[in-house]
Chain A
Amino acid sequence: MSAQTTGPADQKSSSMATVIWRDFGMVVVLVAIFAICSISVDRFLSIPNMKALTLAVSMTGMVACTMMFCLASANFDMSCGAVVACSGVVAAQVINLAAPSLGGTLGLIIGIVAALCVGLLIGFVNGVTIAYIKINALITTLATMQIARGFGYIIGDGRAVGVSVEEFFYIGTQSWFGIPIPVYITVACFIVFGILVSKTAFGRNTLAIGGNEEAANLAGIRVSRHKLNLFLMHGLMSAFAGVVLASRMTSGQPTTSQGFELDVISACVLGGISMAGGIGSIWFAISGVLIMGILQNSMNLMNIQTFYQYVARGAILLIAVIFDKYKQKYM
């Protein structure tokens, strides 16, 4: 980095074209991949497939919104997959317990609130440990991931918990105008968190912390408090995604979403959100999630075996991050 600061570097990376490429390069790649798949993959552009594709990426999309904030602040979260599972189980159990005595609607509300509290709680533990006790985020969330997973099993007694109140299935299984409700939710998340990251001081401060934590502190940002808020937000979002997933599956399943956190992180990084922090835009998250989703969907349509799909996804991620490294170096 020091080598770049001398000489004519002041003239670099400022033209409109490079700025657009820097900010929207991955969107261009996304459009290209979409076009290629539309032409070359049979049935890709069909309405049932588009429905399946958007539904498939809706979960990753929701959690990627807040994962983006974690990564942009140079943090990390491994626990979100386990939180998805645990909160789904909690929602199911609490609804089943509360509904018989308090009635369906009230039971439903209490169940969902309880599930969201699970997310806030894990987020709180993550946030306090990382921001105030200053333990490495990877280790901290690796620990809370196992704790959350364990509680999911304990509360569900090791099994899927079916939900007795049918209204619970509405958001996960119904469609409006032919589009599944989770897709609307994901789009709403993209809009809300897109505004949050680009149009508010909260979002800008997140990038500043990730870009240079010490400088952010000296610029008057209360860094620890901010990081705690990020993890609370991320825990809440993961728990919410867990409720949606439980609704879709009509039960809370402690075994679900193994490795989900890695899918989310992969998508974000693929989209161009730097693991080193300081760089984040909702367009990066959207393109990353959709590129991953489209490639997976296309491979399914082409009947490529799952084992090969793993290899392909890993290779794509590797190429993307190497590409990103060079993009940052030369822009």
Chain B
Amino acid sequence: MSSLPADYMEFVHISKQFPGVLALDDIDFGVPEGSVRALVGENGAGKSTLLKILSGAHPPTSGHIRIADKNVVFENTADAIDAGVAVIYQELQLVPELSIAENIYLGHLPAGPLFIDYARLWENAVESMHTVGLGDVSPKVRVGRLSIGQRQMVEIAKALTRNAGIIAFDEPTSSLSSRETDVLFGIIRKLREQRKTIFYVSHRLEEIFEICDSVTVFRDGRHVSTRRGMEGLTRDMIVKDMVGREIVDIYHYQPRPLGEVALKVENVTGPGLNAPVSFEVRKGEIVGCFGLVGAGRTELMRVLFGVAPRASGSVELFGLPVDIKAPADAIQAGIMLCPEDRKKEGVIPVLSIQENTNISARRHHLRMGFLDQRWEYDNVMDKIRALSIKTPSQRQLAKNLSGGNQQKVVLARWLAEKIKVILLDEPTRGIDVGAKSEIYDIIYRLAGEGIAVVSVSSELPEVLGVSDRILVFSEGELVADVPRAEASQEKILSLALPQESKKHFRGGEK
């Protein structure tokens, strides 16, 4: 109590259980007044869930929040706002059709005898807009006409008019220009001087060194470390805390002989890819793609499979150029994709396992234009056995299957095709450990048969565990191609985090 300032706000033994997942496990730490606390961790480490609990969007399963030595319970977001908490999300919560002033005071617009007291509204708004650097904009301007950075300022002004003492920013700079980022940082410093408590969530470690005075690291829903004071702290130390999970070998990796180049991607660009992507995958090789959300991995898969248009560049299969304009072209050429979102893009929920499995390959087995019922039945039964899909019947509707079994059904669909390359986008997301290792076995089996495998994953240990080679993506670019022998968790994550040389770094400011 004597040397350290007392914590103004504390998370006390907070846990959050979602069906099947413990998203937060006994989170317990505090933040003093007038400080900017960085919250960092990989995707899925628990930062977003913690913000949701702070904002009242989710109640914690156990534990509670203390503000100024008082226990508080947020039943809903209104409770949190009343308690002086404001969370500013990446997706801003503004109404573009309304004016700045109306947005700032939405929910408590100054009332006149009959109508809104607009004179007072404009006047009040000008005042709060001035504090966030929007002094030269009219409060009557519609929010839809503002830049993303200005909108963020409106969001902050909104928080300030509600007397928020605790303000959390979720990836605030991801769509800001460097000038807008400077303005934001200026405001955050001012808020710190006003003794506000600030949470700052970002993947950009350079920003954290610039603006924060303490760092809390999360991993797998647990609190790993809190370091007060940035003195002596290095980027590498933070990265180490982020990745330092013990690796249990559930991967059973075995090296395989590799054949000739199967897939050659040259200078490919498309939506979500900010720079041309080039790489090769050999026959029987498993190439892992790692990156944070929005890094461009899924976007690349979609371009290669013909779901999204390829803006430039070329794709070759075994030395022959292929022109893929639609998924049907990709499949014809021998490229298959198991998409990221199984429920939305993978299975057809109202159709049976048999239908879902045969939907593509059946075209090779028609008899005088009609479906070959015998083949359709044999094929689905064969795949149910081969992939050990757990179901009482091939007539079971896909919507009644568990996530792991749905993923197997999507895989089963391609196994009757002539696969040259298979693209797997987050093949084990949301699947329990047992089913995961089954999926890895299938991946090895495919590679063993000489298929080129490209597997996207957000889980570092998985990428390191199954891949022969790792492609690292960051902010829409392929930034590194790392062989298995040279890969470590620290190295890969460090490459995947946005680099300081980019547009967001402002030298000489400190």
Residues on A lying within 8 angstroms of B by beta carbon are 1-2, 4-6, 9-14, 19, 195, 199-201, 204-205, 207-208, 211-212, 214-222, 274, 278-279
Q: How far is the CA of A142 from the CA of B327 in the complex (A)?
A: 32
Asked whether A218 lies within 8 Å of B403 as measured between CB atoms, the reply is: no
Would you call B263 an interface residue if the criterion is a C-beta within 8 Å of the partner chain's C-beta atoms?
Answer: no
| Chain B residues with CB below 8 A from A205, complex form | 359
Q: How far is the CA of A278 from the CA of B369 in the complex (A)?
A: 22
Given contacts A10-B391, A14-B392, A214-B344, contact A219 B360 (CB under 8 A): yes
Asked whether A10 lies within 8 Å of B348 as measured between CB atoms, the reply is: no
| Chain B residues with CB below 8 A from A4, complex form | 399-400
Q: Which of A1, A11, A219, A279 contacts B359 (CB 8 A)?
A: A219
Asked whether B370 lies within 8 Å of A5 as measured between CB atoms, the reply is: no
Q: Which of B327, B348, B395, B405 contacts A278 (CB 8 A)?
A: B348
Asked whether B400 lies within 8 Å of A13 as measured between CB atoms, the reply is: yes
What are 15 A-B contacts with C-beta separation under 8 Å? A1-B349, A9-B400, A10-B392, A10-B405, A13-B396, A14-B391, A195-B370, A200-B370, A211-B348, A211-B349, A212-B345, A219-B359, A220-B331, A220-B360, A278-B349
* Nearest A-chain residue to B369, judged by Cβ: A200
Min CB distance A219 to B, Å, is 5
Given contacts A199-B371, A211-B348, contact A218 B339 (CB under 8 A): yes
| Chain B residues with CB below 8 A from A214, complex form | 344-345
Q: How far is the CA of A219 from the CA of B359 in the complex (A)?
A: 7
| Chain A residues with CB below 8 A from B332, complex form | 220
| Chain B residues with CB below 8 A from A216, complex form | 348, 359
Given contacts A217-B307, A221-B328, contact A208 B400 (CB under 8 A): no
Interface positions of B from 378 to 416, Cβ below 8 Å from A: 390-393, 395-397, 399-403, 405, 413
Would you call B223 an interface residue if the criterion is a C-beta within 8 Å of the partner chain's C-beta atoms?
Answer: no
Would you call B362 an interface residue if the criterion is a C-beta within 8 Å of the partner chain's C-beta atoms?
Answer: yes
* Nearest A-chain residue to B403, judged by Cβ: A5
Q: How far is the CA of A155 from the CA of B399 in the complex (A)?
A: 50
| Chain B residues with CB below 8 A from A279, complex form | 350
Asked whether A5 lies within 8 Å of B345 as measured between CB atoms, the reply is: no
| Chain B residues with CB below 8 A from A274, complex form | 350
Would you call B326 an interface residue if the criterion is a C-beta within 8 Å of the partner chain's C-beta atoms?
Answer: yes
Asked whether B350 lies within 8 Å of A218 as measured between CB atoms, the reply is: no
Q: How far is the CA of A274 from the CA of B350 in the complex (A)?
A: 11
Asked whether B359 lies within 8 Å of A204 as measured between CB atoms, the reply is: yes
Min CB distance B338 to A, Å, is 9
Asked whether A6 lies within 8 Å of B19 as measured between CB atoms, the reply is: yes
Asked whether A217 lies within 8 Å of B327 as measured between CB atoms, the reply is: yes
| Chain B residues with CB below 8 A from A211, complex form | 348-351
Asked whether A207 lies within 8 Å of B355 as measured between CB atoms, the reply is: yes
* Nearest B-chain residue to A217, judged by Cβ: B327
Q: How far is the CA of A200 from the CA of B369 in the complex (A)?
A: 7
Interface positions of B from 332 to 380, Cβ below 8 Å from A: 332, 337, 339, 343-351, 355, 358-360, 362-363, 366, 369-371
Q: How far is the CA of A195 from the CA of B373 in the complex (A)?
A: 13
Asked whether B400 lies within 8 Å of A212 as measured between CB atoms, the reply is: no
| Chain B residues with CB below 8 A from A201, complex form | 362-363, 366, 371
Asked whether B390 lies within 8 Å of A10 as measured between CB atoms, the reply is: yes
Q: How far is the CA of A212 from the CA of B350 in the complex (A)?
A: 8
| Chain A residues with CB below 8 A from B8, complex form | none
Would you call B305 an interface residue if the criterion is a C-beta within 8 Å of the partner chain's C-beta atoms?
Answer: yes
Given contacts A201-B366, A218-B327, A219-B360, contact A13 B397 (CB under 8 A): yes
Asked whether B390 lies within 8 Å of A215 as measured between CB atoms, the reply is: no
Asked whether B395 lies within 8 Å of A14 as measured between CB atoms, the reply is: yes
Asked whether A215 lies within 8 Å of B344 as measured between CB atoms, the reply is: yes
Asked whether B395 lies within 8 Å of A19 as measured between CB atoms, the reply is: yes
| Chain A residues with CB below 8 A from B362, complex form | 201, 204
| Chain A residues with CB below 8 A from B305, complex form | 218
| Chain A residues with CB below 8 A from B396, complex form | 10, 13-14
| Chain A residues with CB below 8 A from B113, complex form | none
Would you call B107 an interface residue if the criterion is a C-beta within 8 Å of the partner chain's C-beta atoms?
Answer: no
| Chain A residues with CB below 8 A from B370, complex form | 195, 199-200
| Chain A residues with CB below 8 A from B397, complex form | 13
New A-B contacts (7) at CB < 8 Å, excluding given A201-B362, A212-B344, A215-B345 = A11-B392, A207-B351, A217-B307, A217-B327, A219-B348, A219-B413, A220-B360
| Chain B residues with CB below 8 A from A2, complex form | 343
Asked whether A220 lies within 8 Å of B402 as measured between CB atoms, the reply is: no
| Chain B residues with CB below 8 A from A199, complex form | 370-371
Min CB distance A106 to B, Å, is 33
| Chain A residues with CB below 8 A from B307, complex form | 217-218
Would you call B20 an interface residue if the criterion is a C-beta within 8 Å of the partner chain's C-beta atoms?
Answer: yes
Q: How far is the CA of A203 from the CA of B393 in the complex (A)?
A: 22
| Chain B residues with CB below 8 A from A200, complex form | 369-371
| Chain A residues with CB below 8 A from B360, complex form | 219-220
Q: How far is the CA of A207 from the CA of B366 in the complex (A)?
A: 18
4 closest residue pairs by CB, A with B? A211-B348, A278-B350, A220-B331, A14-B393
| Chain A residues with CB below 8 A from B403, complex form | 5
| Chain B residues with CB below 8 A from A212, complex form | 344-345, 347-350
**Counting chain A CB atoms within 10 Å of each CB, which of B331, B370, B400 scores highest?**
B400
| Chain B residues with CB below 8 A from A13, complex form | 396-397, 400
Given contacts A13-B396, A19-B395, A220-B360, contact A6 B350 (CB under 8 A): no
Min CB distance A118 to B, Å, is 28
Min CB distance B427 to A, Å, is 15
* Nearest B-chain residue to A11, judged by Cβ: B392
Given contacts A14-B396, A201-B371, A208-B359, contact A215 B348 (CB under 8 A): yes
Min CB distance B169 to A, Å, is 30
Asked whether B351 lies within 8 Å of A278 as measured between CB atoms, the reply is: yes
Asked whether B351 lies within 8 Å of A208 as measured between CB atoms, the reply is: yes
| Chain B residues with CB below 8 A from A207, complex form | 348, 350-351, 355
Question: B295-335 toward A: CB 8 Å interface, digit per residue (1/0)?
Answer: 00000000001010000000000000000001110111000
* Nearest B-chain residue to A214, judged by Cβ: B345
Asked whether A218 lies within 8 Å of B337 as measured between CB atoms, the reply is: yes
Q: How far is the CA of A122 from the CA of B346 in the complex (A)?
A: 34
Min CB distance B140 to A, Å, is 35
Q: Which of A9, A215, A220 contacts B346 (CB 8 A)?
A: A215
Min CB distance B384 to A, Å, is 12
Q: Which of B19, B326, B400 contacts A222 (CB 8 A)?
A: B326
Q: How far is the CA of A278 from the CA of B403 in the complex (A)?
A: 21
| Chain B residues with CB below 8 A from A221, complex form | 328, 359
Asked whether B347 lies within 8 Å of A215 as measured between CB atoms, the reply is: yes
* Nearest A-chain residue to B350, judged by Cβ: A278
Min CB distance B195 to A, Å, is 43
Q: How far is the CA of A215 from the CA of B328 in the complex (A)?
A: 12
| Chain A residues with CB below 8 A from B337, complex form | 218
Q: How far is the CA of A254 from the CA of B248 in the complex (A)?
A: 76
Q: How far is the CA of A121 from the CA of B214 in the complex (A)?
A: 69
Q: How far is the CA of A279 from the CA of B397 in the complex (A)?
A: 12
* Nearest A-chain residue to B365, judged by Cβ: A201
Q: How far is the CA of A199 from the CA of B396 in the complex (A)?
A: 19
| Chain A residues with CB below 8 A from B345, complex form | 212, 214-215, 218
Asked whether A5 lies within 8 Å of B401 as measured between CB atoms, the reply is: yes
Min CB distance B24 to A, Å, is 20
* Nearest B-chain residue to A9, judged by Cβ: B400
Asked whether A204 lies within 8 Å of B405 as measured between CB atoms, the reply is: no
